[in-house]
């Protein structure tokens, strides 16, 4: 994650920018901007961006492009839906770039990996939970908050490794032995943090969750 400038070839950078522009335009059109008219939701949106900027600075890595940090995509998707979550995570990446922790040339590919893949996997898993499992608060917290966040972060790791292999930057054997396994460990931390936040929001501030019906889950009217 957080691929630096100069790591990928010009063709990959151009392709990533074309894909990013397309996804960003769809997200801007589909985003429920009226949600941010509520001052409480707007404050939560901005606070999440600031918190994730700080969180993304807490990263570890030994070689260029092979950094590790928590993501926060699942919680963002739970609170604001996929479109606003994608836009918010892109703003997080802007904040990280302004502080010199990410390059601007590779902004699009980083946005597609961390915001695009992270939000897409979270959104799909949330829809599967709604379709296949009963509507229960523990299902909501553990499946949508805990397990979905771990799987989303692991999916980002797999996507990053696939890109690095396809571009010829690193070998598959090296990444499989020295980089990818750490995403399994990081996934547990991501799951713990996201599950905790989902629990706090569901119990104390359910109005901040985009698809949480407190009348159905908690018996409130």
- Nearest CA to 194 out of 154, 120, 157, 144 is that of 144
Q: Is the pLDDT of residue 213 over 80?
A: no
pLDDT at 217: 56
| Number of domains composing the chain | 1
| Residue 31: inside a domain | yes
pLDDT at 157: 94
| Residue 21: inside a domain | yes
| Residue 4: inside a domain | no
Secondary structure of residue 113 in the 3-state scheme: helix
Secondary structure of residue 12 in the 3-state scheme: helix
Average model confidence (pLDDT) across the chain: 90
pTM (predicted TM-score): 0.93
Domain of residue 139, CATH code: 1.10.1760.20
Residues in Cβ contact with 213 at an 8 Å cutoff, skipping those fewer than 6 apart: 135
Query: Which residues span the domain enclosing 92?
Result: 10-58+68-217
pLDDT at 216: 55
* Strands 67-68 and 60-61, sheet pairing: antiparallel
Report yes or no: 206 and 218 within 8 Å, Cβ to Cβ.
yes
Length of the chain: 221
Q: Is the pLDDT of residue 117 over 80?
A: yes
| Residue 5: inside a domain | no
| Residue 139: inside a domain | yes
């Amino acid at each position: 994650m957080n691929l630096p400038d100069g790591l990928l070839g010009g063709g990959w950078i151009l392709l990533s920018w074309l894909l990013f522009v397309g996804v960003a335009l769809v997200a801007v059109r589909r985003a429920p901007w009226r949600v941010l008219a509520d001052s409480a939701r707007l404050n939560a949106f901005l606070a999440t961006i600031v918190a994730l900027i700080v969180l993304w600075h807490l990263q570890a890595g030994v070689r260029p492009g092979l950094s590790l940090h928590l993501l926060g995509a699942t919680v963002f998707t739970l609170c604001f839906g996929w479109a606003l979550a994608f836009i918010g995570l892109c703003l997080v990446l802007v904040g990280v770039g302004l502080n010199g922790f990410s390059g601007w040339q590779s902004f699009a590919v980083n946005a597609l990996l961390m915001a695009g893949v992270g939000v897409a996997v979270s959104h799909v898993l949330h829809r599967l939970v709604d379709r296949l499992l009963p509507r229960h608060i523990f299902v909501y917290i553990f499946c949508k908050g805990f397990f979905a966040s771990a799987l989303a972060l692991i999916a980002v790791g797999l996507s990053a490794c696939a890109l690095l292999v396809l571009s010829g930057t690193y070998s598959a054997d090296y990444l499989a032995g020295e980089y990818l396994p750490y995403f399994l460990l990081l996934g547990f931390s991501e799951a713990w943090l996201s599950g905790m936040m989902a629990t706090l929001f569901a119990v104390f501030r359910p109005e901040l969750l985009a698809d949480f019906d407190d009348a159905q889950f908690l018996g409130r009217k």
